[in-house]
Amino acid sequence: MPATHLDKRTTSRTTWTHASIPTLAVILSLAAPAFRAGADEIKPLRLCADPTNLPFSSDNASMPGFYLELGQALGKALGRPVAYNWYKSYFGKRTVRVTLLGKQCDAMIGLPLSEDFMGPAVIFSKPLITEAYVLVSAKDGKVSSIDDLKGKRVAVQFLSTPQNLLAQLDEIEKVTVLSPEEGMKVLDQGKADVAFIWGPVAGWLNKTEYGDRYAIQSTEGLGLSWISAVGFAKTSIELRDQVDAALPSLETTIAGLIAKYGFPTDRPVKFNAAPTATKHAFLPASQALPIVLAQLTTVAAATPEAVSAGREVFNGTCAHCHGPDAVQSERRIDLRLLNRRYGDDMRETYWKTVHEGRPSKGMPAWNEVFTDEQLDNVYAYLLTLQTPSN
Ligand code: HEC
């Protein structure tokens, strides 16, 4: 799988080039006195983290960032003190290889939940939150679709999905920036009308530096949003299971942290395809990795090809009742809610429903009409559209 997509997108905050800075390997134990007595037995939960990546992580104890505060809460839930291995540049495969897979830490919070990330070498917890690109604009000129962007100057980050997405739309003037900070700055200086940048950072900056002056509209679609989780080396199944067991008790904590760090929580608009061009124009293979797919483990071949084949089947057949691109205002048949509705059982429910139908309720059976592969493709496509549960 090409690495480019994720690497590019994650440069929204720390840049890939930072990965060449050697690990600082500072282990800071936050062991509370209570842990000292049994220090021989209780090993700290070691988290790899970037010391300068707010709103996600920071070595500033008074403002540690979303991921680190969540890590502290996790440590508490597991009865283990938390230690940090600071490593500049949080994301990127090289970082993960050196730190997590190099056994310098036990877990990394906030990795993209996708098999495409590192293949089977990395395993994941259940989903934490959905993160996405957002459209930031003045409150009285809020934009919520690609059409709204026409005639506007839009700040996009170099080599990001939004840059790619808007590249072919001549009616939109692009202002290229190198970071979300710069995107907010050109917006604030009146050099752009809209900033199409990484949401958590935009929300955080809007809250802390811009007095919540700007309206934020979240987006979703291939390469625009992804689900983050805790990542572990594949040998850490036991720890992963412990974390999964602890996560449900941390829902309130997570909601509190989302508010504290200003992460956007609005309902996203879907940006899979612009009105004026075919979807493929915006999604060259390297950009179309289905990063967004939750529960990827159950889909053998969730490739961009599978997603796009599934979309074709869907819009050709299922869309008559479930809406084109699954946009459907009647909740009962809104298939973007499958994940929210069924969670871990989503796959099974889908499979049973499409195979057997629910004839008494108006849902036909499709097993005679489509092959399992086609139904799998539709599933892969639907996964890219799921409404986040936060
Ligand atoms: C003729 C209309 C119609 C078509 C065409 C149709 N469905 Fe449905 N589908 C329904 C209805 C109505 C329901 C809700 C049944 C119920 O209330 O339990 C449903 C429910 C579902 C559900 C379960 C939703 C849930 O939340 O429980 C899935 C999954 C589903 N459809 C998938 C598909 C797929 C995939 C296709 C295309 C291959 C498709 N449907 C085509 C009418 C349709």
Q: Does 192 sit in the ligand 1 pocket, CB within 6 Å?
A: no
Instruction: Give residue 40's pLDDT.
Output: 56
Strand partners, 214: 138
Tell the residue nearest (CA) to atom 36 of ligand 1: 318
Answer whether 73's CB lies under 8 Å from 264's CB.
no
- Give the Cα separation of 306 and 115 in Å (integer): 15
Taking only the tens place, the pLDDT of each residue in 300-339 is 346 778 888 999 999 888 988 888 889 888 888 999 999 8
Q: Ligand 1: which of 363, 371, 373, 383 to mutate, judged by most atoms within 8 Å of the beta carbon? A: 363
Q: Does 387 sit in the ligand 1 pocket, CB within 6 Å?
A: no
The angle subtended at Cα 135 by Cα 134 and Cα 136, nearest 5°, is 110
Answer whether 80's CB lies under 8 Å from 21's CB.
no
**pLDDT-wise least confident of 91-100, 120-129, 374-383:** 91-100
Tokens of 387: 């409404």
Strand partners, 216: 136
Taking only the tens place, the pLDDT of each residue in 52-64 is 889 999 999 999 9
Q: Does 354 sit in the ligand 1 pocket, CB within 6 Å?
A: yes
Q: Does 361 sit in the ligand 1 pocket, CB within 6 Å?
A: yes
Distance from the CA of 293 to the center of ligand 1, in angstroms? 20
Taking only the tens place, the pLDDT of each residue in 341-366 is 988 888 889 999 999 999 888 889 99
Q: Does 118 sit in the ligand 1 pocket, CB within 6 Å?
A: no
Q: Where in the chain is the domain with CATH 3.40.190.10?
A: 4-129+227-260, 130-220
**34 has pLDDT over 50:** no
Q: How many helices (H) and strands (E) does the chain have?
A: 16, 14
Single-letter amino acid, residue 203 = G
Q: Which residue has the higher pLDDT, 296 or 340?
A: 340
Mean pLDDT across 232-241: 95
- Give the Cα separation of 270 and 129 in Å (integer): 17
Dihedral sign for Cα 307, 311, 317, 322, please: positive
* CA nearest to 390, candidates 298, 253, 198: 253
- Give the Cα separation of 209 and 299 in Å (integer): 42
Q: Atom of ligand 1 at shortest distance to CA of 334?
A: 26
Q: Does 36 sit in the ligand 1 pocket, CB within 6 Å?
A: no
* CA nearest to 65, candidates 5, 17, 21, 109: 109
- Give the Cα separation of 44 and 33 in Å (integer): 13
Long-range CB contact pairs, 272-279, < 8 A, 24+: 272/221, 272/222, 272/325, 272/384, 274/146, 274/165, 274/168, 274/169, 275/146, 275/147, 276/169, 277/168, 277/169, 279/308, 279/311
Answer whether 257's CB lies under 8 Å from 164's CB.
no
**pLDDT-wise least confident of 39-48, 151-160, 182-191, 256-265:** 39-48
Mean pLDDT across 203-223: 93
CATH number of the structural domain 293-383: 1.10.760.10
Provide the CB-side half-sphere exposure for 160 (13 A, CA).
31
**222 has pLDDT over 90:** no
Answer whether 123's CB lies under 8 Å from 236's CB.
yes
Taking only the tens place, the pLDDT of each residue in 286-303 is 222 233 322 222 333 467
Q: Where in the chain is the domain with CATH 1.10.760.10?
A: 293-383
Fold of 4-129+227-260: D-Maltodextrin-Binding Protein; domain 2 (3.40.190)
**pTM to 2 decimal places:** 0.57
**371 has pLDDT over 50:** yes
Tell the residue nearest (CA) to atom 14 of ligand 1: 333
Q: Which residue has the higher pLDDT, 316 or 117?
A: 316
Tell the residue nearest (CA) to atom 37 of ligand 1: 318
Q: Which residues of 230-260 are buried (b: 16+ CB within 10 A; e: fewer)?
A: bbbbeebeebbebbeebbeebeebbeebbee
Tell the residue nearest (CA) to atom 26 of ligand 1: 338
Q: Which residues of 15-46 are buried (b: 16+ CB within 10 A; e: fewer)?
A: ebebbeeeeeeeeeebbeeebeeeeeebebbb
Taking only the tens place, the pLDDT of each residue in 126-180 is 999 999 999 999 998 888 888 899 999 999 988 788 888 888 788 999 999 888 9
Q: Atom of ligand 1 at shortest distance to CA of 369?
A: 38
**pLDDT-wise least confident of 121-130, 166-175, 196-205:** 166-175
Split at pLDDT 50, 70, 90, the class of 272 is: low
Domain spanning 130-220: which superfamily? Periplasmic binding protein-like II (3.40.190.10)
**242 has pLDDT over 50:** yes
